[in-house]
């Protein structure tokens, strides 16, 4: 089986070019494929390969104190979902282009654990009795494959479109506990931070995103699959891929 991983971590990186080169070399040595993104604000990884190579790569990465507590999310497939391995240095590990939504500049926005969210969705409100609104921070291509039941989805093509698309809905969200979510947590982390800095103090982020929710709570309250940016296309709540035959060219 191929081990598929997704991981990100916001932490100051003063040596982005050198780190990207080092991680690329290590991933090549372990015969991994996927994408390595490095920026001054941290790293974002989507890597797949054999169990021994994956374990060795992340053991080496976590030996660096900057990434020792980075969470890695795992899923499995018969096929290798990436055609090649690449490493890039970018201004942001997920582009948002909002000064008030940068995790290194502000305290982290409060989060909700998957098990707690599952309970809230089951009971119809949070522990204070407020209604819960799930806010999907992904784009239209992604949420067409699935999203939380009753979630607020926005007509956006890219993450940077989120602030303008959310504006018409802000008043209607004022009396709710808003839970920002995305695939693995990186976008909803920036989105929740920006919203709180922009006056929406009723916003939380879903810890670990949809994939973390699937790992810890299954698919309760979620309709469909979670889109992923590789040849598997989407994962169901058991983290099984929609496409799992053949090897991409």
DSSP for 49-90, written as a single string: E-HHHHHHHHHHHHTSGGGTT--EEEEEESS---S-EEEEE-
Pick the closest to residue 108 from 153, 158, 69, 62 (CA basis): 69
- 3-state DSSP: the chain helix, strand, coil percent, rounded to 5? 35, 25, 40
- 233, 242 contact by CB (below 8 A): yes
State the pLDDT at residue 245: 83
Q: What is the pLDDT of residues 188-211, one digit of tens each?
A: 999 999 999 999 999 999 999 999
Q: Which residues are catalytic?
A: 182
Please state, in angstroms and as integers, the Cα–Cα distance from residue 88 to each residue in 7, 194, 228, following that order. Answer: 15, 25, 19
- 136, 223 contact by CB (below 8 A): no
pLDDT tens for each residue of the chain, 249 residues long: 999 999 999 999 999 999 999 999 999 999 999 999 999 999 999 999 999 999 999 999 999 999 999 999 999 999 999 999 999 999 999 999 999 999 999 999 999 999 999 999 999 999 999 999 999 999 999 999 999 999 999 999 999 999 999 999 999 999 999 999 999 999 999 999 999 999 999 999 999 999 999 999 999 999 999 999 999 999 999 999 999 986 444
Q: What is the pLDDT of residues 46-63, one digit of tens each?
A: 999 999 999 999 999 999
Distance CA 194, CA 196 (A): 6
């Amino acid at each position: 089986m191929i081990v598929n991983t997704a991981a990100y971590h916001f932490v100051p990186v003063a040596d982005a070019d050198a780190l990207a080169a080092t991680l690329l070399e290590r991933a090549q040595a372990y015969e991994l494929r996927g994408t390595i993104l490095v920026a001054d604000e941290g790293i974002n990884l989507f890597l797949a390969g054999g169990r021994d190579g994956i374990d060795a790569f992340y053991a080496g990465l976590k030996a660096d104190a900057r990434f020792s507590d980075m969470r890695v999310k795992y899923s499995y497939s018969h096929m290798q979902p990436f055609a090649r391995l690449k490493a890039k240095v970018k201004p942001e590990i997920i582009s948002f282009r909002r000064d008030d939504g940068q995790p290194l500049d502000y305290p982290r926005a409060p989060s909700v654990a998957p098990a707690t969210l599952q309970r809230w969705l089951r009971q119809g409100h949070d522990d204070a009795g407020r209604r819960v609104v799930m806010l999907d921070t992904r784009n239209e291509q992604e949420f067409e494959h699935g999203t939380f039941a009753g979630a607020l989805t926005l007509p956006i093509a890219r993450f940077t479109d989120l602030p303008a698309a959310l504006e018409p809905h802000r008043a209607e969200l004022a009396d709710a506990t808003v839970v920002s979510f995305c695939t693995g947590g990186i976008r909803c982390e920036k989105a929740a931070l920006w919203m709180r800095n922009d006056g929406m103090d009723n916003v939380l982020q879903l810890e670990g995103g949809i994939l973390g929710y699937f790992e810890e709570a299954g698919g309760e309250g979620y309709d469909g699959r979670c889109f992923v940016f590789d040849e598997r296309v989407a994962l169901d709540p058991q983290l099984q891929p929609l496409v799992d035959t053949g090897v991409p060219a």
